Chain A
């Protein structure tokens, strides 16, 4: 698990987030959403600070973080690739697209490339079934993706 060494300013940002929800444990999920937006992921150190601030156990925070697929404890790549594996995309060949990404990037689903450039995930239905199979990279949506286009798509990210 990747952990983040927290600096004073980081702790302050977490406290600010918690305070904005009046440190109410009932708003834990909202707080985690905000914290993940801020840090990009939710490492153990961040969870500890949240738990302390809300006066609940770290186990409870960890339990919630690991329950929901939206929360992640590993940082994403600079370009987060999500391949839709909803049923509509599946029957239109999304599996082959995922396999091609895995092959090209040499990582598994859920993994990050060594240089931190790309991370690969699958997600369930973005609701753009007319464009199936769909791939999201960052906020950009690629529709009707075929395995043959994967390399070209990856090559277009030069930074």
Chain B
């Protein structure tokens, strides 16, 4: 990379590509050619920078200029001004929302200051389709070091000492998992990478695969060496075409370089990977269900034990890890356990990637050290709540998780604290909600998801979740009674205690956690029949503010059910029993005299 004076990094992640970043790459290249700057500047398509809110992103190094919301028409200006004349195009620079000043160097952006990138270390830095760039950043050095200097036992020991825990949700110690798989004797073992990211609102695995596919291949090979497997399988969602493409390119390049295949780097160790496609089933995130799906069957879970480490794919010992877990592995071997275990909290080491989304200013992908507080994530990295609204809750752990509220803002985030707070780490979706979000509706939204995704094998999950959903539907449509809340809690406990797999055992969490943290809101729905957030349509109460009403009768004409009465030029009234809450009067009123509660 040394011969160029400048590198223009353009985000080629799914989010930015949706905003025509490919066209931006083309335009930048052609402008460079027009001005004859081919020897000075190079355009590189990289993985995700994480700052999806302001995409498409173009970053210029070495000066770390960070252009946001770049349009294809801006490309000529960037090349002419910045590359040719050395003047930054200030209107495209990121503007600090507080000081309203343009930030010249991305290192000074609040979004990046609190972050620490290990799993995402190469995302947004290298061209994911070029193995040389990965190698230039110490790629495959960990594999080389292990193959030449360590026995599998020694390598596993390092991972155990690092304290790395599975990032897919459960938080099981990764080193221990590898050790169990390594001790089971078999003629064939398998390494599986779980890239079936089904949690709605989480996209860290996709971004890692799109931005740094070689790190996953390297880690899988290391795992293969440690547990004694020669075959690796990446189980990936078919909905991620770009990640699939980049992974295939990376595997081909690795084979060409002798980093996959027979006798890797001159050792006795042989290893190769293949891809299997998921077909849209959330339950396949569960290890046993995933393995069935790889075998061409319905992705239904089975009772553990036997664990996949004893009897997994095709009945052979199988080690399943999630994408983000694998992405951490090479870094641990290169920088050492002391470095890694110095980051994070006592029982949760390292960093965690979160997909920050919802009602927050800086939607994006972030990686933070364990132990950071929610307040730092939301207000310093996330830039606060959108449109100056009030923070209400943040949902973590997806459909298996729960809500954290104002009182949890200063709790250090790690595996154990989140569980203690009634939520869970999950795969790392973090959805921020504001005062306009009704928590009963949010619980209903998740149950709708679970009902759809329940595989139907065990009754508590299949029938119980359906009943929970019906009950929530009843409450949000204004037909609930106070006893329903207790019923919801009881049924939730039964489902948790008796379901077969992790899906059913955690699916009532959104209900329990919203009842726990927002009991008053549930109560308002079932006693006063109002939705405090004003989101449940059936519970909206429309009234006319007498002082503002001029008696123009516009609302009377708009009302489809004749619920509004009154004399001309006198204040009108709405009959709540007749009102069907359609909102027609609200839209028609020119004097903002209609009040909605």
Supposing A67-B298, A68-B299 touch, asked if A127 and B277 sit within 8 A by C-beta, the answer is no
Chain B 308-354 residues near chain A, CB threshold 8 A = 314
Known contacts A68-B279, A91-B431, A125-B201; is A130 also within 8 Å of B296 by CB? no
Nearest-CB residue, chain A, relative to B238: A70
A143 to B53, alpha carbons, bound, how many Å?
11
| Stretch in contact with the other chain, from B12-20, B116-124, B409-417, B524-532 | B12-20
Which stretch from B24-32, B358-366, B368-376 is at the chain A interface?
A: B358-366
The answer to whether A129 touches B296, judged by C-beta atoms less than 8 angstroms apart, is no
CB <8 Å contact, A128 and B357: no
The complex places the Cα of A25 from the Cα of B276 at a distance, in Å, of 14
B-facing residues in A49-66 (Cβ within 8 Å): 63-64
Provide the main secondary structure of the chain B interface.
mixed
The reply to whether A125 and B277 contact each other, CB–CB distance below 8 Å, is: no
Q: In the complex the two chains form, is A92's CB within 8 Å of B279's CB?
A: no
Q: What B residues does A143 contact at CB under 8 A?
A: 18-19
B239, B293, B355, B357: which contacts A126 (Cβ < 8 A)?
A: B239
Bound CA span A62–B203, Å: 30
B10 at the interface (CB under 8 A from A): no
Return chain A residues, CB-CB under 8 Å to B197. Answer: 127
Q: Report the separation of the CA atoms of residues A91 and B544 in the bound assembly, to the nearest whole angstrom.
A: 29
Check if B449 is an interface residue, CB within 8 A of chain A. yes
Which B residues touch A88, using CB under 8 A? 200-201, 355, 357-358, 363, 431
Judge if A14 is at the interface, Cβ distance under 8 Å.
Answer: no
Question: Does B262 make an interface contact (CB < 8 A)?
Answer: no
Tell me the nearest residue of chain B to A139, going by C-beta: B241
A73 shortest CB reach to chain B, Å: 13
B303 at the A interface (CB under 8 A): no
One digit per residue, 1 when the CB lies within 8 angstroms of any chain A CB and 0 when it does not, for chain B 435-477 equals 0010000100110010010010000000000000000000000
The CA-CA distance from A67 to B267 in the complex, in Å, is 43
Verify A64–B198 contact, CB threshold 8 A. no
Contacts of A132 in B (CB 8 A): 357, 363
B277 touches A130 (CB 8 A): no
Chain B residues in 8 Å Cβ range of A92:
358-359
A68 and B144 alpha carbons, distance in the complex (Å): 40
Chain B residues with CB below 8 A from A25, complex form: 296
**Chain A residues whose CB sits within 8 angstroms of the CB of B314 once the complex forms:** 26
B587 at the interface (CB under 8 A from A): no
Interchain CB contact (< 8 A) of B281 among A67, A87, A129, A141:
A67
Say yes or no for B295: interface residue by CB 8 A criterion: yes
> A129 with B298: in contact, given A87-B358, A88-B357, A90-B445 (CB under 8 Å)?
no
B residues near A30, Cβ cutoff 8 Å: 276-277, 296
| Cβ-neighbour of A130 out of B281, B364, B455 (below 8 A) | B364
Q: Does B55 belong to the interface (CB within 8 Å)?
A: yes
The answer to whether A130 and B55 touch across the interface, beta carbons within 8 angstroms, is: yes
Q: Is B297 located at the chain interface by the 8 A CB criterion?
A: yes
Which residue from A63, A70, A129, A141 sits with its C-beta under 8 Å from B280? A70
A85 & B18 in contact (Cβ 8 Å cutoff): no
State which size class the interface on A falls in.
35 or more
CB 8 Å contact bits of B497-515 with A (1 = contact, 0 = none): 0000000000000000000
Least CB separation from A66: chain B residue = B298
Q: In this assembly, does A69 line the interface, its C-beta being within 8 Å of a C-beta of chain B? A: yes
Known contacts A69-B281, A91-B358: does B200 contact A29 (CB below 8 Å)? no
Whether B202 is near chain A, meaning CB under 8 Å from some CB there, is yes
The answer to whether the Cβ of A33 comes within 8 Å of any Cβ in the partner chain is: yes
Distance A154 CA – B455 CA, assembled complex (angstroms): 35
Q: Which of A77-105 contact B (CB under 8 A)?
A: 85-88, 90-92
Nearest chain A residue, comparing its CB with the CB of B198: A124
Assembly CA distance A132 to B386 (angstroms): 13
Which residues of chain A have C-beta atoms less than 8 A from B295's C-beta?
26
**Quick one: which of A120-157 are within 8 Å of B by CB?**
123-132, 134, 141, 143
A32 within 8 Å of B (CB atoms)? yes
Say yes or no: is B251 at the interface (Cβ < 8 Å to chain A): no
Contacts of A28 in B (CB 8 A): 296-297
| Nearest-CB residue, chain A, relative to B386 | A92
Nearest-neighbor residue (CB-CB) of B18 within chain A: A141
Q: Is the CB of B201 within 8 A of A64?
A: no
Q: Tell me if B165 counts as interface (CB < 8 A to partner A).
A: no
- Whether B357 pairs with A69 at a CB distance below 8 angstroms is no
Given A26-B296, A67-B298, A91-B359, residue A128 in contact with residue B52 (CB < 8 A):
yes
In the bound complex, residues from chain B placing their C-beta under 8 Å from that of A26 are 295-296, 314
Inter-subunit contact B279/A130 (CB<8 Å): no
Question: Do A129 and B359 touch across chains, with their CB atoms under 8 A apart?
Answer: no
- Contact of A131 with B277 at beta-carbon distance under 8 Å, contacts A25-B296, A64-B296 already known: no
Bound together, the chains give a CA A122 to CA B357 distance in angstroms of 19
Instruction: Establish whether residues A130 and B52, one from each chain, have CB atoms under 8 Å apart when the complex forms.
Output: yes
User: Do the beta carbons of B363 and A68 come within 8 Å of each other?
Assistant: no
Per the bound structure, the CA–CA distance linking A147 and B19 in Å amounts to 20
Given contacts A28-B296, A33-B277, A68-B299, contact A129 B203 (CB under 8 A): yes
The one of B14, B279, B298, B299 in contact with A128, judged by C-beta atoms closer than 8 angstroms, is B14
CA distance A126 to B201 in the complex (A): 8
Cross-chain contact B280 with A131 (CB below 8 angstroms): no
Rounded to whole angstroms, the CA-CA distance of A141 and B55 in the bound complex is 14
Q: How far is the CB of A108 from chain B (nearest CB, A)?
A: 15
Question: A127 to B279, Cβ gap below 8 A?
Answer: no
Q: Which residue of B lies closest to A86 (CB)?
A: B200
Contact A69 B280 (CB under 8 A): yes
Cross-chain contact A85 with B15 (CB below 8 angstroms): no
Q: How far is the CB of B324 from chain A (nearest CB, A)?
A: 14
Q: Is the CB of A68 within 8 A of B277?
A: no
Cα A33 to Cα B239 in complex, Å, equals 12
Are A87 and B279 neighbours in the complex by a CB distance under 8 Å?
A: no
Partner of B276, one of A29, A71, A90, A127: A29
A87 to B363, CA, bound (A): 13
Residues of chain A with a CB closer than 8 A to B277's CB: 29-30, 33
Cβ-closest 7 pairs across A and B = A130-B52, A127-B203, A68-B279, A88-B357, A86-B200, A141-B18, A28-B296
Would you give 14 A-B contacts (Cβ < 8 Å), ordered by A? A25-B296, A27-B296, A28-B297, A33-B277, A69-B280, A87-B431, A88-B431, A91-B431, A125-B200, A126-B14, A127-B15, A127-B206, A127-B207, A130-B52
Given A25-B296, A70-B239, A87-B200, 19 new contacts (CB under 8 A) = A29-B277, A29-B279, A29-B296, A30-B277, A30-B296, A64-B297, A67-B455, A68-B279, A69-B281, A87-B398, A88-B200, A91-B358, A91-B442, A124-B280, A124-B282, A125-B200, A125-B203, A130-B15, A130-B363
